């Protein structure tokens, strides 16, 4: 092994592997002598997981960094725009159309960080929900409008957005782009053994088809198999099942029958007694699935609940549906992500139920940190690895806090599954402390103070007040109240303007297919 880090192997050709290889190659690749040599090894027989179809707005920056066009994404991956998540039935178990509905939009509240929006909203004697008062985005989602004009350039937004797409098609597009445009070497081969240096570092991966492939740094994107970080190094998965019970998902795809029907631009997450369903609308199909806890629900009951949901939400009759694909997982994350000269990215690093679609965002953050802090030599690698472990341990813990919030605030009493989620023994300590403080004040940036927090205090505000959390916050003084009301007025004005000016989401997508988009 040379001391300088010149050769990187990415093991795995799922979304994590391709995104990581592309982000590294876009910054450090090339043909000159100093360029990083990046090889991606992918099994010819084990497919990528093929789910994971909702992203955060961060994906826009990622795609721009790797030079992939948004038009290509829309055309080749059956992609659409995502403006946030809609939560139905989470508070009382009633139908969403019966008022049990709230949004976690991607836009920050109007006046966030300047005005006392929460105090102003609580004392405004309004029946309008918090998100509806402070953001146009829930209204845009209700009207199935797109987040931009047909004349808005690629990646630019009128309202903040991420994507919904077909994960298998995204994998193919990323693969082609990363090989053809970014010069990553692609090896289709099964890794059969890991060869080590005397000091315990990985020296090479032995493959069935292409012999040994050596490198200085190995990025484990081998999915739940976690071939390097888990199987080779034995770094344990720290289970979080005591906090978030869900350990199974059923996934199904339903073709769209009406090609002109309104196209949702939020992920619809509906709570059930057995778990919750995701519903992701693409232009030609819906991806739906049910996430549940095997300790509370049998596979058969879960299949039946998913079929009922599909039928109720306008899909085919339950009897016409094939059985959904079952994916089992242990909710949790690794005790360490970077160990010696190996770093885990994607499912190999851990997985928790996809309630707020945070997995691909963690992939983007992981790959960006490896890219930005790429160690110059082996001695620096241990330091970078420690920094990486610290950053991601913090991020995983915050994601778990945030997901748990959706369960502890629920008032549903229709199943042990729901009641068990509220047992105080299952509440992470830090979240418990914050909930106590939030009885008397709103979440603000000192509660989530790191740069690149995965969920800012604004996200906590949307979920807390969307779920009916009622704090005892004193009325703001008159000048502060007036300031908050001015923000609500400005959000209402923006809502009116956008409702009149933005195209239907479906029309926007069809326009992009036919005419493309202006480039930036």
Residues that bind ligand FAD (CB under 6 A): 11-17, 41-43, 46, 48-49, 51-55, 190-191, 221-223, 225, 227, 249, 251, 289, 327, 346-348, 354, 357, 359-360, 363
With CA atoms as reference, report the closest residue to 279 among 308, 316, 313: 313
Q: Is 163 helix (H, G, I), strand (E, B) or coil?
A: strand
> What's phi and psi for 285, nearest 5 deg?
-160, 165
Residues in the chain: 520
Minimal distance in Å, beta carbon 290 to ligand FAD?
Answer: 9
Tokens of 169: 């098609």
CB of 97 to ligand FAD, least distance (A): 24
Q: Which is nearer to ligand FAD, 186 or 404 (CB)?
A: 186
**Closest approach of Cβ 248 to ligand FAD, in Å?**
9
- We find the least distance from the C-beta atom of residue 270 to ligand FAD, in angstroms, to be 15
**Segment 122-125 long-range contacts (CB within 8 Å, at least 24 positions apart):** 122/471, 122/473, 122/475, 123/475, 123/476, 123/481, 124/484, 124/485, 124/488
What span, in angstroms and rounded, lies between the C-alpha atoms of 406 and 151? Answer: 37
Instruction: Provide the minimum distance between the beta carbon of 406 and ligand FAD in the complex, in angstroms, as a whole number.
Output: 15
**Pair 21, 38: CB distance under 8 Å:** yes
Q: 178 with 18: CB under 8 angstroms?
A: yes
Using the minimum distance from each CB to ligand FAD, give the nearer residue, 162 or 476: 162
The nearest distance, CB 434 to ligand FAD, in angstroms, is 25
Of the pair 48, 145, the CB lying nearest ligand FAD is at 48
Nearer to ligand FAD by Cβ, of 129 and 269: the residue is: 269
Q: For residues 63 and 363, which CB has a smaller minimum distance to ligand FAD in the complex?
A: 363
DSSP H or E segment with residue 105? strand 101-105
- Residue written as token pair 């795995």: 12
Judged by beta carbon, residue 17 or residue 466, the one nearer ligand FAD is: 17
Quick check: 410 and 422 in contact, CB under 8 A? yes
Distance CA 270, CA 89 (A): 6
Shortest Å distance, C-beta 46 to ligand FAD: 4
Nearer to ligand FAD, 11 or 391 (CB): 11
Residue 70 CB, nearest distance to ligand FAD (Å)? Answer: 18
Strand pairing class (237-239; 332-334): antiparallel
Query: Based on CB atoms, which residue is closest to ligand FAD, 15 or 341?
Result: 15
- Smallest separation (angstroms) from ligand FAD to the CB of 479: 42
Nearer to ligand FAD, 347 or 442 (CB): 347
Pick the closest to residue 363 from 10, 11, 7, 17 (CA basis).
17
* Min separation Cβ 53 and ligand FAD, Å: 5
Query: Under 8 Å CB-to-CB from 260, ≥6 apart: which residues?
Result: 506
> Which structure tokens are listed for 490?
């400005």
Nearest-approach distance from CB 357 to ligand FAD, in angstroms = 4
> CB of 207: closest distance to ligand FAD in angstroms?
7
Give how far Cα 340 sits from Cα of 77, 228, 232, 343, 385, Å.
37, 11, 12, 8, 8
At 333, give phi and psi (nearest 5°).
-145, 160
Q: Which is nearer to ligand FAD, 48 or 491 (CB)?
A: 48
Which residues are bridge partners to 82 per DSSP? 162
Backbone angles phi, psi at 400, to 5 degrees: -65, -45
Decide whether 134 or 280 has the Cβ nearer to ligand FAD.
280
Q: Which is nearer to ligand FAD, 81 or 130 (CB)?
A: 81
CA quadruple 308, 313, 315, 316: dihedral, nearest 10: 40
Please give the Cα distance from 98 to 302 (Å, whole number).
Answer: 24
DSSP state of 396: H
Distance from C-alpha of 174 to C-alpha of 160, rounded to nearest angstrom: 23
End-to-end CA distance of the chain: 43
């Amino acid at each position: 092994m040379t001391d300088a880090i010149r050769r990187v192997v990415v093991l795995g050709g799922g979304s994590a592997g391709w995104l990581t290889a592309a982000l590294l190659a876009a910054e450090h690749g090339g043909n000159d002598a100093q360029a990083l040599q990046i090889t991606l090894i992918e099994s010819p027989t084990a497919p990528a997981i093929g789910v994971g179809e909702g992203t955060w707005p961060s994906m826009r920056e990622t795609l721009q960094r790797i030079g992939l066009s948004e038009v290509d994404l829309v055309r080749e991956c059956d992609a659409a725009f995502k403006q946030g998540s809609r939560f139905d039935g989470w508070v009382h178990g009633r139908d969403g159309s019966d008022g049990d509905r709230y949004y976690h939009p991607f836009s920050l509240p109007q006046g966030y960080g300047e005005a006392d929006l929460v105090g102003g909203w609580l004392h405004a004697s309004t029946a309008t929900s918090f998100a509806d008062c402070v953001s146009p985005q829930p209204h845009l989602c209700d009207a199935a409008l797109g987040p931009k004009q047909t004349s808005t350039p690629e990646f630019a937004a009128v309202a903040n957005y991420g994507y919904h797409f077909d994960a298998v098609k995204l994998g193919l597009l990323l693969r082609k782009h990363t090989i053809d445009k970014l010069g990553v070497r692609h090896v289709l081969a099964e890794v059969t053994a890991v060869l080590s240096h005397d000091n315990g570092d990985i020296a090479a991966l032995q493959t069935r088809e292409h012999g040994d492939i050596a490198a200085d740094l190995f990025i484990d994107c081998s999915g739940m198999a976690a071939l390097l970080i888990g199987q080779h190094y034995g770094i344990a998965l720290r289970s979080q099942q005591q906090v978030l019970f869900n350990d199974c998902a059923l996934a199904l795809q339903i073709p769209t029958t009406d090609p002109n029907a309104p196209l949702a631009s939020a992920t619809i997450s509906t709570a059930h007694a057995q778990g919750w369903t995701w519903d992701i609308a693409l232009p030609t199909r819906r991806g739906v699935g049910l996430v549940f806890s095997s300790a509370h629900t049998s596979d058969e009951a879960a299949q039946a609940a998913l079929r009922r949901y599909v039928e109720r939400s306008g899909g085919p009759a339950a009897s016409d549906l094939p059985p959904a694909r079952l994916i089992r997982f242990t909710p949790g994350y690794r005790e360490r992500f970077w160990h010696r000269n190996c770093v885990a990215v994607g499912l190999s690093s851990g997985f928790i139920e996809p309630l707020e679609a945070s997995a691909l965002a963690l992939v983007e953050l992981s790959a960006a940190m490896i890219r930005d802090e790429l160690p110059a030599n082996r001695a620096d690698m241990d330091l970078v690895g420690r920094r990486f472990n610290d950053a991601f341990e913090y991020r995983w813990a915050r994601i778990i806090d945030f997901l748990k919030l959706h369960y502890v605030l629920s008032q549903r009493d229709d199943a042990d599954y729901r009641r068990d989620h509220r047992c105080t023994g299952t509440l992470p300590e830090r979240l418990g402390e914050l909930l106590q403080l939030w009885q008397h004040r709103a979440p603000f940036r000192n509660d989530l103070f790191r740069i690149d927090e995965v969920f800012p205090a604004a996200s906590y505000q949307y979920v807390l007040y969307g779920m009916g959390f009622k704090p005892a916050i004193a009325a703001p003084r008159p000048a502060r109240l007036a300031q908050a009301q001015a923000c609500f007025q400005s959000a209402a004005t923006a809502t009116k303007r956008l409702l009149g000016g933005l195209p239907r989401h479906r029309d926007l997508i069809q326009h992009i297919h036919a005419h493309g988009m202006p480039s930036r």
